[in-house]
Chains A and B, each alone.
Chain A
Amino acid sequence: MTLVLDQTTVRLDGKRLFQPLALTVAPGEIVALMGPSGRGKSSLLMGLCGGLRPPLALEGDVRLGGRSLRGVPLERRRLGVLFQDPLLFPHLTVAENLAFALPRQHRDRRVRIDAALERAELQGFGERRPSTLSGGQAARVALLRALLAEPQALLLDEPFAKLDAPLRRRVRAFVATMIADARLPCLLVTHDRADAQDLGARVVELGGEGEERTRTGR
């Protein structure tokens, strides 16, 4: 399964925020999109989720495993998304958060959830409330949850930005292993070069467009 961005960019009131991207992300590959803030990195990710509202709009085609995502509701795009915040549902326990993502046809729900927790070294955390987890634990549960939904690609929006430095390295390592195991194409948005390096990501710079280039080209 590959993720293809075909001449994709974000428009603000009709003006392109960055030069259209032509990008193919192979299974197991991580591409880090980098660029100055305000260039539209996060908006691009929002656009891939179908979450942009006017005056912002996504331009160009996005294909996952050959099928176009245009017009497909997010719940059928099979894109896993991780934001800066783990966004674990506070009214559900850790295990319930995971069960929330696990497709219904699986009968061995307990087994799968326990196995997932074990991989993240979070055995016995199933009955905990998300509010009782540390930042690193919550980040790991959020990744487990995204993967349990069996996505075909993964989008990461600066998922390590809110973790402190030593923790960030450990969570990064965990994310790298999980992505490699799942063999998913993965698009990462960040402005921390260490994120890209530690994850072994291919770096793609977002190029400015028109006015943007002259203003940010100092």
Chain B
Amino acid sequence: MPPFAVWPPLTLAVLVVPVVGGLIGTVLPAFGYLPALGLTTLSLEGWRGLALVPGLAWSVLLSVWVALASTLISFCLALAFVAATTTAPRTAWLRRLVSPVLAAPHVGVAIGLAFLLAPSGLFVRLLSPWLTGFTQPPAWLVPGDPWGLSLLFGLVVKETPFLVLMLLAAQAGLDAERRVLVARSLGYGPLRAWHQTVLPAVYPSLRWPIMAVLAYGFSPVDMALVLGPSVPPILAVRVVELMGDPSLARWPIGAAAALLLLALAVLTMALWRLAERPVSAVALARARRGPGATSPLPWRGLALVLPTAVTLTALLGLAAMALWSIAGRWRFPDPWPDTLRLDGWQQLQGPLGHSLFVTAGLAAIVAGTALVLTILCLEAETYRRRPLPRRVLFWLFLPLVVPQAAFLFGVQVVLVGVRLDGTLGGVALVQLAFVLPYTFLALAGSWRGLDPRWRLTAASLGQGPWRVLWRVKLPLLAAPIATAFAIGFAVSVALYLPTLFAGGGRVRTLALEAVALAGADRRSAGVVVTLLALLPLLGFLFAAAVRLRVERR
């Protein structure tokens, strides 16, 4: 057996058991089988109950609309931004703006946006009363508009940076600048040059990230609780409400709703995949027609400004919440608090401090474990005769492409069964399934790209596989390893729904506190959001320090 061969199956088990167990634990109750409640005969009661839920059709429409539109808009913005920064001179630095937004947890970004957009929020304050004449906050239904536009905006703000980063990673090895240069010398405008020569090459590696964005769009419960429409809410919120209902009789209905959500997500993904062919055919037809007149409109300027503005909005929201955390009196419509005071931060001595400790500790343990498993899997791959088969990738990404709300209830059922529900260990296990795909994605490229002669040289000097790993590969790859850890850490800090379900509300992380405080008290919310935004940055600072050390030798 080649070295490290036991680790890939073991790692897959860690990933697959929660998802598959969770799906089974959702499917059975949806059809009336839940022994814990004494339900042992199959029935369609759950589905009948679901059909009677008022406003269900609107929830369904809302879910599909928000998921599909947010994915499409984020994708277009990301394409525009990467194309523009690849082709326009001296704009590559703009890409650095997206990293802090990517690192900030969803719920933090959502709370920041909510404050910007609210009738009593910063945007209205900045325009009042001199432009709007408001001396009292207007009675607008924003955020929380019935069409989910605020939620849509929040998702776009959060997912665009993710897709930008995935695109940049995919085009890194392609010499994109030169491809574009060749096309431009043939008479194509910069954006078209990029779309015709780089996009076709990077799109295949973008499929999984897009599916992940779609899946998340179906289940952004934390963002929806802050930004989303509430009567009726998106389907995923309904699932969580039904599952949280104290009368357990509603569980089969909730399980049916979860299955419905899963079906919608799978259908939408299939739709996206079906649309790929005609869209690429159109693009190919344009390529065959050859270069035409270049557009006189400043498209590239727009492609730079729009995504940048979206990103800056998110950063402004986070900054405004940081200001709230130290604000004393801050009356409407003042754009600035009258007084500053620090007593909001004294909450750190109480339960909030405990949450901070739990969040950071959990994130460190989960990211560390995910990193170790990732490294052992990748190292196993270097000793295999062939790369890991594609179906392994499918199982690896499964937790990301199944909407969380669709299977987490089942995970809870399973955890109750093995008596891990509500424990730190249970939360860590479930988080691991969501963090591992990201650490793997982050590290795989550098690991596979390392010159195999390093390993062969070390082995020819008499070093066995473990010592080659420890003494040669880990030091050589220290920088990408540290980055992968930081990414895993950030993902763990941001996880809301998995922590809620696995922890049964007993493991209180900052993301949970943030959702609880979002509607209540802006000062406390400001403290939590600031912590949520800073904690992942610490991870990335650490990664930057490691990279500096590596570069200096």
List the interface of chain A (C-beta within 8 A of B). 46, 49, 51, 53-54, 73-81, 83, 85, 87, 89-92, 100-101, 103, 129, 131, 145-146, 149, 151
Instruction: Please encode chain B, from 425 to 454, with 1 for each CB lying within 8 Å of some chain A CB and 0 for all others.
Output: 000000000000000000000000001111
Chain B interface secondary structure, helix, strand, loop or mixed?
A: helix
Contact across chains for A91 and B475 when beta carbons are under 8 A apart: yes
Give chain B interface residues in 371-386, CB to chain A under 8 Å.
385-386
Contact across chains for A90 and B463 when beta carbons are under 8 A apart: no
A151 to B475 alpha-carbon distance, docked (Å): 25
Q: Can you list 6 pairs linking A and B with CB atoms under 8 Å apart?
A: A46-B456, A49-B460, A73-B464, A87-B454, A92-B475, A101-B461
Residue A51 contacts which of B456, B478, B550 (CB distance < 8 angstroms)?
A: B456
Contact status of A89 and B553, CB under 8 A, knowing A75-B459, A83-B453: no
The 10 closest A-B pairs by CB, nearest first: A74-B459, A91-B475, A101-B461, A81-B460, A149-B461, A75-B459, A87-B457, A49-B456, A149-B462, A83-B453
Q: Min CB distance, A148 to chain B, in Å?
A: 8
Residues in A neighbouring B386, C-beta threshold 8 A: 53-54
Contact across chains for B553 and A80 when beta carbons are under 8 A apart: no
A80 to B459 alpha-carbon distance, docked (Å): 9
Contact across chains for B460 and A74 when beta carbons are under 8 A apart: yes
List the interface of chain B (C-beta within 8 A of A). 385-386, 451-454, 456-465, 468, 471-472, 475-476, 478, 550, 553
Residue A75 contacts which of B462, B550, B553 (CB distance < 8 angstroms)?
A: B462
A83 to B459 alpha-carbon distance, docked (Å): 14
Q: Min CB distance, A138 to chain B, in Å?
A: 13
Residue A100 contacts which of B385, B454, B464, B471 (CB distance < 8 angstroms)?
A: B471
Residues in B neighbouring A129, C-beta threshold 8 A: 553
Residues in B neighbouring A46, C-beta threshold 8 A: 456
Q: Min CB distance, B468 to chain A, in Å?
A: 8
Contact across chains for B463 and A89 when beta carbons are under 8 A apart: no
Q: Min CB distance, B476 to chain A, in Å?
A: 7
A89 to B134 alpha-carbon distance, docked (Å): 67
Residue B462 contacts which of A49, A92, A103, A131 (CB distance < 8 angstroms)?
A: A103
Q: Min CB distance, A89 to chain B, in Å?
A: 6
Residues in B neighbouring A103, C-beta threshold 8 A: 462
Residues in B neighbouring A74, C-beta threshold 8 A: 456, 459-460
Contact across chains for B476 and A75 when beta carbons are under 8 A apart: no
Contact across chains for B460 and A85 when beta carbons are under 8 A apart: no
Further pairs besides A54-B385, A75-B460: 9, Cβ < 8 Å: A51-B452, A73-B459, A75-B464, A83-B453, A85-B453, A89-B454, A89-B475, A90-B553, A149-B461
Contact across chains for A75 and B385 when beta carbons are under 8 A apart: no
Residues in B neighbouring A53, C-beta threshold 8 A: 385-386
A61 to B550 alpha-carbon distance, docked (Å): 42
Central interface residue in A77, A85, A89, A145, by most chain B CB within 10 Å: A89
A90 to B451 alpha-carbon distance, docked (Å): 14
Residues in A neighbouring B457, C-beta threshold 8 A: 81, 83, 87
Q: Min CB distance, B48 to chain A, in Å?
A: 55
- Which residue of B has the minimal Cβ distance to A83? B453
A100 to B470 alpha-carbon distance, docked (Å): 12
A112 to B460 alpha-carbon distance, docked (Å): 19
Residue A81 contacts which of B385, B456, B471 (CB distance < 8 angstroms)?
A: B456
Residues in A neighbouring B553, C-beta threshold 8 A: 90-91, 129, 131
- Which residue of B has the minimal Cβ distance to A97? B461
Contact across chains for B460 and A91 when beta carbons are under 8 A apart: no
A89 to B472 alpha-carbon distance, docked (Å): 7
Residues in A neighbouring B550, C-beta threshold 8 A: 91
Residues in A neighbouring B472, C-beta threshold 8 A: 89
Q: Min CB distance, B1 to chain A, in Å?
A: 12
A51 to B461 alpha-carbon distance, docked (Å): 15
Q: Min CB distance, B527 to chain A, in Å?
A: 41
A101 to B454 alpha-carbon distance, docked (Å): 13
Residues in A neighbouring B464, C-beta threshold 8 A: 73, 75
Residues in A neighbouring B462, C-beta threshold 8 A: 75-76, 78, 101, 103, 149
Residues in B neighbouring A151, C-beta threshold 8 A: 460
Contact across chains for A100 and B463 when beta carbons are under 8 A apart: yes
